Structure 1
Amino acid sequence: MKQILIAALALNVSPVAFSQQTEQQKSIDNYVKEAIKTNNIPGLAIGVLKDDKIIFEKYYGTENLEDNKKVDPNSMFRVYSTSKLMTNVGIFQLIEQGKLSLEDNVSKYVENIPKNWQNVKVKNLLTHSSGVPDFVAFNDILPEYSSSQAIERLSKEKMDFTAGNEFRYNQTNYMLLSMIIEKITGQSFENFILNNQFSDVKNQVVYSSNALEKIPNRIIKYNYNSETKKYEKSKDVEGKKAYPGNGIAITLPAFLKWSSHLSKNNLLNQKTKEMMWQPFEFGNKKDIFAYGWEINKVNNIPSYGFSGGNVSAYRIFPQNNLTIIMMSNGYNFFPAQYHMINGIAAIIDKKLMDNYSLAEESIIAEFAKPNNQNAEKNYFKVKSESSKWDFEDTLNNIGYILLRNSRIDEAVKVFELNLKEHPQSANAFDSLGDGYFSAKNYNLSLKNYKKSLELNPQNTNAQNMIDQIEKLMKK
């Protein structure tokens, strides 16, 4: 006890506060270990900043499954689309310097763009409201294509919608942002980001959208194969044009330092950050998104962040001076990043407790179990906690995950439960149709597709499946 008191006093922390922090760390650690077990996560790094101090930094599991090398502070996790946050900050650094405006047309900086892209502005790229075609949707745009070659190919396609009207996630937006950065600065995109955001930790950050490239200490995502019941290392190769959207691999200490710089206004001033986190006004008046950042609210407290590849997530709570970083290399059932961020936030500050998210996590965990006989009972118990809660999308997602994991009978039961809960949902009927189709019960599948189409005549999937089943039944 004497040693603890001395350590607490040396850190200018009261014994009570020291004890509370220790208990909090234990609670986070126990929660994370349970999440790892539920989701069978191979390797994970978690970092938490509170009041500009690191209050939790821990490493779990292995970098890879081939030699069981342990995750440690040198492990560079590929964070996929969480990389977009650094691109966002880079753009706003140029805005802050007066070299760029949100209202600038992209054509001011990017040469030879298609005529129907002429009205697209910088703000539309950041908010995924550009309407330009997404290069990942076209298999003939090869990984080795330059950004200019990708644009030339995309010029043959129509706009998806009028710029500014709606949110539609799109990697071409970030390719164009990197071209703007290069045009203004005269530097390569990756050098600009490293020099202006990671100057003190350059050796802990690398850009590469090639999972096959051998990079020391870089951790690549594992995808779970439901047929073999084993993890397989990702082999995605996307080229340099994907760097601004998904290319960063970073250590947890470097990410924590970047976050500290962001919080202390070393990367952007406070006014610029507030501009970056303002909701964009979409034409459809429905979508909610800031300038490159997701907006989340818990108990009316705002937070901003993003996630990548279903294996990483970043969330900053400015009012609480709190930041949570989660980086992993795989999962075998349900993407865990958002639940883990929410769960850790609730442990640190009860005002940030998202009871719906915690309830959803409990439901998913029970259905994920190989022997999940109590899952439905648990669902109704959890649901009874609030009359406002609706888990239609959650059950729907669980059903499809069970299908992908070849747990067809369980999937059908979940889809049946969802329909029982939402008897007027066209989507619930459609999903049950998919479940019965996978179970080769074509009569019941056809019945549910027809009911779905009756409720939603625009359901093209139901119509296509009806045609397919009727042809099968004629043979």
Structure 2
Amino acid sequence: MINKGDCMRKKTFEMLERMIVEIMQEVNIPGMSIGIIINEEIVYTRGFGARNLELNLPMTPNTLFGIGSISKMFTALAINQLAEKGKLNLQDPINKYINFNLGTRKDPIQIHHFLTHSSGINALEGNFIAAERLLGVSDSFIPMSSTEDLLTFLNGAHFEKSGDPGKVYIYNNDMYDCLGLIVEKATGLRFIDYVKKEILIPLKMKRSTYTIEDFKRDEDISTGYLFEENGKIVPKDPPIADLQAPAGGLLSSVNDLLNYMIALLNGGNFNGNKLLDPSTLKRIWTPYIQTDEKGKEYGYGWMIEKDFFGHRLVSHGGNLFISSGYLGMIPELKMGIVIGQNCAHFSPEMIGRSILAILLGIDLKQAVPLLEIQKKLTTLIGHYETYKGVMKLDVSLENGILTGKIKYPGSPNIITFPVVIDNMEEMNFFIPFAVPELQMKGQIFINEDTGAVNLKVNRWVFHKR
């Protein structure tokens, strides 16, 4: 659906649609939905592909999906609402509200530190234990079924520290789950009930929910897909429960999230409902600490990039193992994008950044070189053989790592190794060994006219079949 778009805008969206369809086909994305805002106006929404492969039901802008860590925006918003109302102070120590024993009396870990991932505590991933159990892929018996289990798990990690509070950035899901407990302590409400009352209902995000029961009662929901190592695609329900809600448990749709974006682009107001003061929003979007990614700092539940082609970009991605999303905004231009997918093996952030850059008039290759790199890497994936099939090699991309598997003649064993590309233009690569001097070097040749791919390593040349 295109609203009030001129001819140039229509052509831009048609070009974006071709790009999206090509990416979905190349990297096996079952379904995707997208919404775009320009000047606080929704100018484009569309679903692509299937929200359910088995029934071939279409993905739509109304399709609910697990937004993963985009949920942290809502948790940070809840905490800042309470700070605005005087219910808590962002400099309060965590143990004022919950049974949290890490940190020291002299230098306590504060709410601010949890919001900015700067507690100094290593990523412990109790959140992952619970999620994997719900997905049916866990072999862990670490207790992780209640608030008490989570706090016992965290309080045992006295030596899991990489720095003093406020000094080092370590992305930490468990600490955001603890922020949800603080909301409960400060309000007397369940976290999910507070967010529904104070955020979702005022924003008319009526279908967004933290519960699997509400999700399954809805008519337009996505089936999530887990991509296993053997190539099998397994349908799964969202792995959510109250315990993981603050860090990554919100189920929402593109259309609902567009309401959220409109409110923030309008200074915290939506259809006459005041969500927060503009000064509070400014505090949320203030960069407090450098992240692991170049050019990105962290605010309160948001990644902040000061120079996205001359503009400030505030954003966050989310990954729930079987679904993923991306929400990014350029506040000064009142522009934003939200993307939802029912898979998690390919990050929608690259697509979101590409679209924002194109809307800014930036060339795609300049805007998102990672997208071109992804295309090249996808070309390399497949089965290779030397002359007459004497030696065989399989190349795959597993969790972002280019991997080779080879069976040497005369050996019953299959050897697995990483393939590290050190020059993307020349397609030079090396295979690392424990002793650096022994590493094998090679080069990949791609014939642009015929599409033929040849891989030369040491004395062998492998031809892609």
Structure 2 Cα separation of the partners of residues 33 and 407 of structure 1: 33
Aligned residues: 392
Indicate which of 12, 23, 36 corresponds to 1:24.
12
Task: Give 1:325-344 correspondences, 5 Å limit.
Answer: 325-330=338-343, 335-344=346-355
Q: Which amino acid aligns with 1:149?
A: D
The alpha carbon displacement at 1:359 in A equals 2.5
User: Residues 64 and 215 of structure 2 are in contact (CA less than 8 Å); yes or no, is this contact kept in structure 1?
Assistant: no
- For residues 360-394 of structure 1, the C-alpha deviation after alignment (integer angstroms, 9 at most, x for no partner) is 21121122036789xxxxxxxxxxxxxxxxxxxxx
Structure 2 Cα separation of the partners of residues 238 and 338 of structure 1: 22
Indicate which of 281, 284, 295 corresponds to 1:273.
281
User: Residues 241 and 249 of structure 2 are in contact (CA less than 8 Å); yes or no, is this contact kept in structure 1?
Assistant: no
Indicate which of 59, 82, 89 corresponds to 1:94.
82
Indicate which of 334, 340, 362 corresponds to 1:321.
334
User: Residues 143 and 149 of structure 2 are in contact (CA less than 8 Å); yes or no, is this contact kept in structure 1?
Assistant: no
Structure 2 Cα separation of the partners of residues 201 and 281 of structure 1: 33
Distance verdict in 2 for CA 1:51–1:407, change over 3 Å: farther
Indicate which of 249, 252, 255 corresponds to 1:253.
255
Structure 2 Cα separation of the partners of residues 400 and 207 of structure 1: 30
**2:114 aligned residue:** 125
**1:181 aligned residue:** 183
Does 2:441 match 1:415?
A: no
SS in 2 for 1:219: coil
Structure 1 Cα separation of the partners of residues 291 and 26 of structure 2: 41
Indicate which of 180, 187, 208 corresponds to 1:205.
208
Indicate which of 357, 380, 390 corresponds to 1:346.
357
Distance verdict in 2 for CA 1:226–1:211, change over 3 Å: farther
TM-score of the superposed pair, with normalisation by structure 1: 0.72
Q: Which amino acid aligns with 2:151?
A: I
Structure 1 Cα separation of the partners of residues 406 and 331 of structure 2: 42
Task: Give 1:2-401 correspondences, 5 Å limit.
Answer: 18-110=6-98, 112-114=99-101, 116=103, 119-132=108-121, 134=124, 135-136=126-127, 139-146=140-147, 148-158=148-158, 159-161=160-162, 162-199=164-201, 201-208=204-211, 214-216=216-218, 217-227=220-230, 229-234=231-236, 237=239, 239-264=241-266, 265-266=268-269, 267-281=275-289, 288-296=297-305, 297-309=307-319, 311-330=324-343, 335-350=346-361, 355-369=365-379, 401=401
Q: Which has the higher helix share?
A: 1
Q: Which amino acid aligns with 2:111?
A: V
- For residues 128-173 of structure 1, the C-alpha deviation after alignment (integer angstroms, 9 at most, x for no partner) is 1113463247644444222x33112322221423221211111121
Structure 2 Cα separation of the partners of residues 419 and 362 of structure 1: 10
The alpha carbon displacement at 1:338 in A equals 1.7
**2:391 aligned residue:** none
User: Residues 222 and 330 of structure 1 are in contact (CA less than 8 Å); yes or no, is this contact kept in structure 2?
Assistant: yes
Structure 2 Cα separation of the partners of residues 124 and 289 of structure 1: 11
Gapped runs of 5+ residues in structure 2?
130-139, 270-274, 384-395, 408-413, 441-465
**1:384 aligned residue:** none
Structure 1 Cα separation of the partners of residues 16 and 349 of structure 2: 15
The alpha carbon displacement at 1:214 in A equals 4.3
User: Residues 298 and 354 of structure 1 are in contact (CA less than 8 Å); yes or no, is this contact kept in structure 2?
Assistant: no
Structure 2 Cα separation of the partners of residues 21 and 400 of structure 1: 34
Distance verdict in 2 for CA 1:261–1:403, change over 3 Å: same
User: Residues 44 and 329 of structure 1 are in contact (CA less than 8 Å); yes or no, is this contact kept in structure 2?
Assistant: yes
* CA RMSD across the alignment: 3.8
Answer with 46-55 or 96-105: which moved more: 96-105
Percent identity (aligned): 22
The alpha carbon displacement at 1:46 in A equals 0.2
User: Residues 291 and 298 of structure 2 are in contact (CA less than 8 Å); yes or no, is this contact kept in structure 1?
Assistant: no
User: Residues 313 and 341 of structure 1 are in contact (CA less than 8 Å); yes or no, is this contact kept in structure 2?
Assistant: yes
User: Residues 127 and 244 of structure 2 are in contact (CA less than 8 Å); yes or no, is this contact kept in structure 1?
Assistant: no
Q: Which amino acid aligns with 2:281?
A: K
**1:3 aligned residue:** none
Distance verdict in 2 for CA 1:198–1:36, change over 3 Å: same
User: Residues 141 and 150 of structure 1 are in contact (CA less than 8 Å); yes or no, is this contact kept in structure 2?
Assistant: no
The alpha carbon displacement at 1:345 in A equals 0.8
The alpha carbon displacement at 1:60 in A equals 0.9
SS in 2 for 1:302: strand
The alpha carbon displacement at 1:295 in A equals 1.5
Structure 1 Cα separation of the partners of residues 437 and 82 of structure 2: 52
Structure 2 Cα separation of the partners of residues 49 and 92 of structure 1: 25
Structure 2 Cα separation of the partners of residues 283 and 416 of structure 1: 25
Task: Give 1:434-449 correspondences, 5 Å limit.
Answer: 445-448=433-436
Distance verdict in 2 for CA 1:143–1:154, change over 3 Å: closer
Structure 1 Cα separation of the partners of residues 208 and 25 of structure 2: 29
SS in 2 for 1:116: coil
User: Residues 31 and 342 of structure 2 are in contact (CA less than 8 Å); yes or no, is this contact kept in structure 1?
Assistant: yes
